[in-house]
Amino acid sequence: MNPWHIIWAIAVKDWRVEGRARDVLAATLFFAVLVVTILAFAFGPESAKLREAAPGILWVAIAFASILAASRAFAAESEDGALEALLLYPVPHELIYLGKLLGNLGLMLLIAVVITPFTLIIYGVDISGRELPFGLAVLLGVTGFSIVSSFQSALTINLRSRESLLPVLIFPVVVPVIIASVKATVGIITKDPSIDVQSWLQLLLGFNLVYLVVCTLAFPYAVE
């Protein structure tokens, strides 16, 4: 079987489950909207200050949403020995990780597509004419979170109090993604020439590639 077919089949399986139950999307999206709204109250009503804080707020919401979604992604697999059955398929375990990653990434991108315009609109940020680089920054950032959080979620499957443990494992690792995404989006929004948007995007790309390789290679050990 073609490896792409295997990856696609696992991702489609996750999307089908999500399409029927919608528990990840509903909870995660609501949570992200809540974070964006609460931070607006926390920073006060000055619109200039809020506009400045908007990129940071957007990434806080996406980071938290990513952890929530990843933790749910493998929670479903831990029921009724689903993960054991999945691992019994005669395919390399690396491909199972990539399939689960694609499934999670699809949901996260859907959430990002909603939460990003929502944040930009309610904080009054104008990115007209720069939608493409902004979209690229969001895509790379969301992919970085997804790679790490899917992996750590698989690692902690079936653990007691894993919901509180996952952030502890994920956040220290994804700090470069948070820094680079915030820097890149701030640079795109403010057009500040002192921020080199391209090199921050390259850092994101480099981080994603390194972690994609490391997590894919380590995944068979994580679930064996």
Partner 1 sequence: MLTQKKLFDAPWLTPALGLLSVVVISVSLFFTFTAQPDVLQGYLTRILPIHVGASWLAYLAFGLTAVFGLTYLITRNYHWDRLSAASSEIGVVFIVLSLFSGALWGRPAWGAYWSWGDARLTTTALMLMVYVGMLMVRGMIEDTGRRARVSAVIGIVASVGVPINYLSVYWWSTLHQSPTLSIVERRSALQNSGILIGFLVGLLGFTILYVYLLRLRGQLALQQARLEEHELELELKGVLAHD
In angstroms, rounded to a whole number, what is the distance separating the alpha carbons of residues 203 and 112?
20
Task: Compare residues 115 and 149 and give the one whose CB is closer to partner 1.
Answer: 149
Q: Any contact of residue 224 with partner 1 (CB under 8 A)?
A: yes
Q: Any contact of residue 145 with partner 1 (CB under 8 A)?
A: no
Nearest to 105 by CA among 165, 62, 59: 62
Q: Around 218, how many Cα atoms within 13 Å sit in the side-chain half-sphere?
A: 14
Q: Side chain identity at 151, as an amino acid letter?
A: F
Q: Any contact of residue 209 with partner 1 (CB under 8 A)?
A: no
Q: Any contact of residue 74 with partner 1 (CB under 8 A)?
A: no
Nearest to 143 by CA among 184, 169, 107, 115: 107
User: Contact with partner 1 (CB under 8 A): which of 180, 184, 189, 212?
Assistant: 180
Compute how many other C-beta atoms are within 10 angstroms of the C-beta atom of residue 40.
Answer: 17
Q: Any contact of residue 160 with partner 1 (CB under 8 A)?
A: yes
Q: Any contact of residue 179 with partner 1 (CB under 8 A)?
A: yes
User: Contact with partner 1 (CB under 8 A): which of 156, 185, 208, 216?
Assistant: 156
Nearest to 147 by CA among 168, 177, 124, 118: 177
Q: Any contact of residue 191 with partner 1 (CB under 8 A)?
A: no
Q: How far is the CB of 34 from partner 1 (least distance, A)?
A: 25
Residue 172, classified by CB atoms within 10 Å of its CB into exposed (0-12), middle (13-18) or buried (19+), is exposed
Q: Are 39 and 129 in contact (CB under 8 A)?
A: no
Which range binds partner 1 by CB under 8 A, 40-48, 105-113, 123-131, 149-157? 149-157
Q: Any contact of residue 203 with partner 1 (CB under 8 A)?
A: yes
- List residues binding partner 1 (CB under 8 A): 151, 155-156, 159-161, 165, 168-169, 171-173, 175-176, 179-180, 183, 194-195, 199, 203, 207, 210-211, 214-215, 218, 221-222, 224
